[in-house]
């Protein structure tokens, strides 16, 4: 369809219709009436109100007004300036202005002159190609067998692998490598006058000429331009400066007391007051010693050997023992008849049996392996069964609960946090920290492929120490599970690790009987700028050559003393000098 308002008169001058009422005809032959435009005053008012009125133009054919776009304005300005209508580099920022400046200026003469740097490079390459290594030629040697025409073709040559950093400068060539040697030199070698080549193409070269020239240029290109200065540093300067062990006293050093029993010891425990030492034997007996004098104060017999024994952390006379499938809570200095109790009898459910005023029996569903007291003495935890079940018992209410049912691996040990409601479970691969209030997993501590064997919580509750089977000690920050340190013992597997309650002391014992004592400094909440540090202060060596089957250690609760049970029937007390 066609627009009837478009003038189709062609290139007819407009002056022909100047005195007529119409301005032309459309395709149908009808007259196109003249549009009556606004007067000059109206145009002036419109220009004042509309700031873009300078962009508007009127079409003479249709009488309509149209507005110029930004691209039209740019095109008109480029036409007025005499530049190209289209800019092929307009999409690159700043290129148009640079190209305009380049085009408008005259080319300097230096651009048409040969480069001096390139001339020097070519001259240097020409001089290098002119140099040829010296070769000794004897009178009876056949040169034809050792030379070849370099224009015959490329041969497969063996690469010279003996390279060096500093390339020696080759010797200048002699007369035998000259292109046109003197006649007297040719006569001296006994050669004919045809020995010298007639042209450069007939110049002979030895077998490895091209390869050696290439390797020479390659060595010059890859040769370092400066010597690397090696820093001479002693190993002692890299390691941190540790304080002297003499400045970290007191710590256990010498053997001062021995507690000898003629039977194999199964477990030992030091009273919270530091006055008594209790130990159980394989012959179903419990001995209580006075720590200072070493004399036996009490001797208790049972029908089954106690595998573990623990003093109550608060009450002075309460003792906790593991007897088969039962946990016995009793007064250490009172005598009761246990002949009618079957400690190996199991029950389907956890049950509490009261035998006296302060004597209880907690019967489990299978054999109990380990017991751990809470810091306040209200709770204790037990590990039992082949699948390593965990139970937490309330001594005051005589109740038991199992907050953790599923475990990823057999449990090696448990521990309560000294100040917070956290519970730690140690397995071979990791140590899990659970929140007892929410009964949810709080954090998980693991270090690579290390296989754990034991663990211990510091008295401040800031650090977790884990012993491994490969003889390493792992130190974790409980506040941040990602920060950890590895202390390598370079010995046998660690069997036990303990921390002192009042002194910054840590002790580990390996299965070979060696005891390592450390001084630890933790990062407190008030001073977070100090770096935690562990310093070895003493090592108690074992005199035994065979592997020790049982080795137990425990710190004195008040003094920097260490109780060591190594072997079958001997407990030693180590104290500072």
Tokens of 276: 């008594």
Q: What pLDDT is recorded for position 107?
A: 78
pLDDT in tens, 154-174: 544 444 454 445 656 766 666
- For the residues 91-102, what does the mean pLDDT come to? 52
When pLDDT is cut at 50, 70 and 90, the band that residue 372 belongs to is very high
**Is residue 297 over pLDDT 70?**
yes
Choose between 200 and 432: higher pLDDT: 432
pLDDT in tens, 391-416: 999 988 889 988 876 676 788 999 99
Phi-psi region of 357 (alpha: psi -120 to 50; beta: other; left: phi over 0): alpha
d(CA 285, CA 299): 7
d(CA 577, CA 571): 19
Query: What size, in residues, is the chain?
Result: 577
Lowest mean pLDDT among 124-133, 505-514, 517-526, 530-539: 517-526
When pLDDT is cut at 50, 70 and 90, the band that residue 197 belongs to is low
pLDDT in tens, 27-44: 777 887 777 666 778 878
- For the residues 365-389, what does the mean pLDDT come to? 88
Tokens of 550: 């049982």
Q: What pLDDT is recorded for position 39?
A: 74
d(CA 271, CA 269): 7
| DSSP letter for each residue of 253-298 | -EEEEEEE-SS-EEEEEE-TTSSEEEEEETTSEEEEEETTT--EEE
Q: Which CATH number applies to 403-577?
A: 2.130.10.10
**Is residue 222 over pLDDT 80?**
no
When pLDDT is cut at 50, 70 and 90, the band that residue 53 belongs to is confident
User: Strand, coil or helix: what is 181?
Assistant: coil
* 450-470 burial code (b ≥16 CB/10 A, e <16): bebbbbbbbbebbbbbbbbeb
User: What's the whole-number average pLDDT of the chain?
Assistant: 79
Q: What pLDDT is recorded for position 491?
A: 77
Alpha-helical regions (H) of 160-251: 183-188, 209-222, 235-238
Q: What pLDDT is recorded for position 230?
A: 77
- For the residues 332-349, what does the mean pLDDT come to? 77
**Is residue 451 over pLDDT 60?**
yes
d(CA 229, CA 219): 21
Q: What pLDDT is recorded for position 162?
A: 46
Whose structure tokens read 């003469």? Answer: 109
Alpha-helical regions (H) of 59-202: 70-81, 95-104, 116-130, 183-188
d(CA 284, CA 421): 36
**Is residue 541 over pLDDT 80?**
yes
**Is residue 7 over pLDDT 70?**
no
- What are the residue ranges of CATH 2.130.10.10 in the chain? 403-577
When pLDDT is cut at 50, 70 and 90, the band that residue 422 belongs to is very high
E strand or H helix at 45? helix 40-49
% the chain with pLDDT above 90: 21
| 212 Cα distance to chain centroid | 48
| 522 Cα distance to chain centroid | 23
pLDDT in tens, 226-241: 666 777 888 777 777 8
**Is residue 306 over pLDDT 60?**
yes
Q: What pLDDT is recorded for position 210?
A: 81
d(CA 128, CA 190): 31
d(CA 364, CA 25): 115
d(CA 328, CA 368): 11
d(CA 524, CA 310): 30
- Which one, of 248, 98, 240, 225, lies nearest residue 165 by Cα? 225
Lowest mean pLDDT among 88-102, 105-119, 538-552: 88-102
Q: Before 118, cis peptide (omega within 30)?
A: no
Tokens of 100: 């305009």
**Is residue 497 over pLDDT 90?**
yes
Lowest mean pLDDT among 49-63, 119-133, 418-432: 49-63
d(CA 503, CA 465): 16
**Is residue 518 over pLDDT 70?**
yes
When pLDDT is cut at 50, 70 and 90, the band that residue 310 belongs to is very high
Helix 116-130 to helix 209-222 angle, to the nearest 10 degrees? Answer: 140
Q: What pLDDT is recorded for position 89?
A: 53
């Amino acid at each position: 369809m066609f627009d009837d308002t478009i003038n189709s008169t062609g290139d007819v001058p407009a002056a022909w219709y100047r005195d007529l009422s119409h301005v032309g005809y459309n395709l149908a032959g009808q007259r196109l009436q003249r549009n009556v435009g606004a007067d000059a005053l109206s145009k002036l008012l419109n220009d004042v109100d509309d700031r873009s009125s300078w962009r508007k133009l009127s079409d003479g054919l249709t009488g309509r007004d149209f507005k110029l776009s930004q691209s039209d304005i740019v095109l008109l300005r480029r036409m007025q300036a005499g530049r190209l209508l289209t800019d092929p580099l307009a999409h690159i920022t700043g290129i148009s202005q640079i190209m305009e400046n380049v085009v408008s200026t005259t080319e300097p003469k230096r651009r048409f002159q040969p480069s001096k740097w390139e001339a020097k490079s070519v001259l240097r390459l020409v001089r290098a190609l002119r140099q040829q290594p010296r070769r000794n030629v004897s009178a009876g040697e056949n040169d034809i067998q050792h030379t070849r025409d370099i224009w015959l073709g490329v041969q497969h040559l063996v690469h010279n692998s003996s390279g060096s950093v500093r390339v020696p400068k080759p010797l200048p060539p002699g007369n035998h490598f000259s292109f046109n040697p003197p006649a007297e030199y040719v006569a001296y070698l006994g050669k004919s006058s045809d020995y010298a080549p007639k042209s450069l193409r007939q110049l002979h070269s030895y077998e490895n000429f091209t390869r050696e020239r290439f390797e020479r240029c390659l060595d010059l290109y890859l040769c370092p331009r400066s010597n690397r200065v090696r820093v001479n540093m002693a190993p002692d300067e890299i390691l941190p400066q540790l304080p002297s062990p003499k400045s970290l006293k007191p710590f256990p050093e010498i053997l001062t007391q021995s507690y000898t029993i003629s039977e194999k010891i199964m477990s030992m425990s030091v009273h919270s007051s530091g006055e008594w030492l209790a130990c159980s034997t394989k012959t179903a007996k419990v001995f209580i010693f006075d720590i200072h004098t070493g004399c036996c104060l009490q001797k208790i017999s049972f029908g089954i050997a106690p595998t573990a024994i623990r003093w109550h952390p608060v009450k002075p006379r309460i003792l906790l023992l593991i007897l088969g499938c039962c946990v016995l809570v009793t007064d250490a200095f009172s005598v009761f008849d246990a002949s009618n109790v079957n400690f190996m009898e199991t029950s389907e459910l956890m049950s509490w049996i009261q035998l006296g005023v302060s004597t209880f029996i907690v019967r489990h569903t299978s054999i109990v392996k380990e017991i751990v007291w809470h810091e306040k003495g209200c709770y204790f935890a037990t590990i039992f069964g082949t699948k390593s079940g965990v139970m937490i018992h309330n001594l005051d209410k005589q109740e038991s609960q199992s907050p953790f049912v599923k475990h990823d691996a057999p449990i090696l040990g448990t521990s309560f946090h000294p100040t917070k409601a956290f519970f730690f479970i140690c397995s071979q691969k990791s140590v899990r920290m659970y929140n007892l209030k929410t009964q949810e997993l709080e954090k998980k501590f693991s270090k690579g492929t290390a296989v754990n064997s034991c663990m211990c919580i510091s008295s401040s509750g800031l650090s977790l120490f884990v012993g491994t089977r490969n003889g390493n000690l792992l130190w974790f920050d409980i506040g941040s599970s990602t920060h950890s340190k590895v202390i390598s013992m370079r010995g046998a597997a660690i069997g036990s690790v303990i921390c002192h309650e009042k002194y910054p002391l840590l002790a580990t014992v390996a299965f070979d009987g060696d005891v390592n004592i450390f001084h630890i400094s933790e990062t407190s909440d008030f001073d977070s700028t100090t770096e935690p540090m562990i310093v070895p202060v003493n090592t108690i060596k074992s005199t035994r050559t065979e592997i020790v089957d049982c080795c137990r250690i425990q710190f004195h609760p008040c003094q920097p003393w260490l109780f060591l049970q190594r072997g079958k029937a001997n407990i030693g007390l180590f104290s500072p000098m």
